[in-house]
Amino acid sequence: MRFTQVDDWLGWMETQHPRAIDMGLERTAHVAKTLGIELTMPVLSVAGTNGKGSCVALASSILAAAGYRVGTYTSPHLIHYHERIGIDGRAVSDEELLAAFAAVDRAREATSLTYFEFGTLAALWLFQRAKLDVVVLEVGLGGRLDAVNIIDADVAIVSSIALDHEAWLGSDRETVGREKAGIFRAGHAAVIGDIDPPQSLLDYGREIEAKLLCRNRDFSFSKMASSWDWEGQGARGESIAYAALPLPTLLIDNAATVLQALACMSLTVSEQAIQRGLLQASVQGRCQHIDIAGVDIVLDVAHNPAAVVTLREHLQGLPVAGKTICVFAVMADKAIAEMSAILQGCFESWLLATLHDNPRAARAVDVAAQLRSQQLVNIEISGSVASSVQRAMSLLQPGDRLVVFGSFFTVAEGMDVLSALVESNATQTVNCENSL
């Protein structure tokens, strides 16, 4: 074994390929063949600009409530790499990761792999050995050329289509839609959660004769004050309906999409399992609320305009009595001006941080210039995310709100400093992602 510590493996993996992101399936497929990876259990793959993590959490929670042993693969992680790989309801252990990384390293021989490709192969290797009943895979970037796409999914979800990662996926929804559609398979269900899917997504699905199931055409939902109803189609096209389902803590749009996907899988899932799974599903860092000394802190990884719209709606739906300020740090390649314009009027002040030791991160001074171009005021440049959160907490009183958002890295760093505050205060933590 090359290393005996997970962190040593991860540091080494980051240096083993000339480019951090190198789209294509050839390298991953070659090493997977050498490893003998062939998943025989049902597989649900999830792509989309936003909502992927929620769909994975909802699907795995419902399947687990139905008694199935579930494997999950997600990215990126917030705090620990182990979060990416779930086996039967738990994060993968150090020992399992060490064995998987070593197996991939032996099998790859002279093949160079990116960090993500290496980790994807490790996850698949572990899933094959874990005697799982079903696997839920989150696509990392795009779909067609993402390493996860070496696996033929029994059912595919595309949760939403918006602009993000334009350098790799394209600068318009039609191009992005075609990339996401790459996870569809001929003769298999392809569930589309976007209410206005790009024509390219539909055209590709029809071209390969996938079984397209579109929201508001083939499945739909209606929300009441304290429950919601869903109707859709089963695997043989039969009508299915559920009434008075409990409101999930995650976005109902994604829950409706997941119910349609599960209805198409060769697994028995009772309505009771659906009810339990909806209530138990949660995702860290998606409109996650933490109360510290009466201050409502919202952590959200929103980093593109579509996700910021959802964040705005969530904040407006749960107003606070006092003032709201934010800590914002973001990658330089994001639509910063558009994101800030969407949040016009949401915050009394902006504390801008720089994500240090991250070459992709935008400098706070450059972010400030873009915010000022939107006529936003009360902008303060306050160093790191940690120092910005500490500064923000010194300005807030019970009844006020702090929103920390802009990137997975932003939320992770914010969580780290907030954990120290949590330990010294009576706290109550509630996950309530976009539960409007």
Residue 62 — very low, low, confident or very high, per pLDDT cuts 50/70/90? very high
22-35 pLDDT, tens digit per residue, is: 778 999 999 999 99
Residue 429 — very low, low, confident or very high, per pLDDT cuts 50/70/90? very low
Instruction: Return the pLDDT at 18.
Output: 72
User: Is the pLDDT reported for residue 435 higher than 60?
Assistant: no
257-312 pLDDT, tens digit per residue, is: 999 999 999 899 999 999 999 999 988 888 899 999 899 999 999 989 989 999 99
Determine the average pLDDT of the residues in 32-43.
96
Q: Give Cα 181 distance to the centre of its chain.
A: 18
User: Is the pLDDT reported for residue 436 higher than 80?
Assistant: no
Name, in order, each residue with C-beta under 8 angstroms of 25's C-beta and a sequence gap of 6 or more: 145, 147, 149, 150
Instruction: Return the pLDDT at 425.
Output: 62
Q: Which residues pair with 402 in a beta bridge?
A: 297, 325
User: Is the pLDDT reported for residue 430 higher than 80?
Assistant: no
160-215 pLDDT, tens digit per residue, is: 988 655 554 666 889 889 989 999 999 999 999 999 999 999 999 999 999 999 99
233-243 pLDDT, tens digit per residue, is: 998 889 999 99
Q: What is the mean pLDDT of the chain?
A: 91
Instruction: Return the pLDDT at 140.
Output: 86
Instruction: Return the pLDDT at 428.
Output: 44
Q: Between 430 and 393, where is the model more confident? A: 393
Domains of the chain in sequence order: 6-280 (3.40.1190.10), 288-431 (3.90.190.20)
Residue position matching structure tokens 């579509």? 306
Determine the average pLDDT of the residues in 425-434.
44
pTM reported for the whole predicted model: 0.87
Instruction: Return the pLDDT at 19.
Output: 76
User: Is the pLDDT reported for residue 385 higher than 60?
Assistant: yes
Instruction: Return the pLDDT at 170.
Output: 61
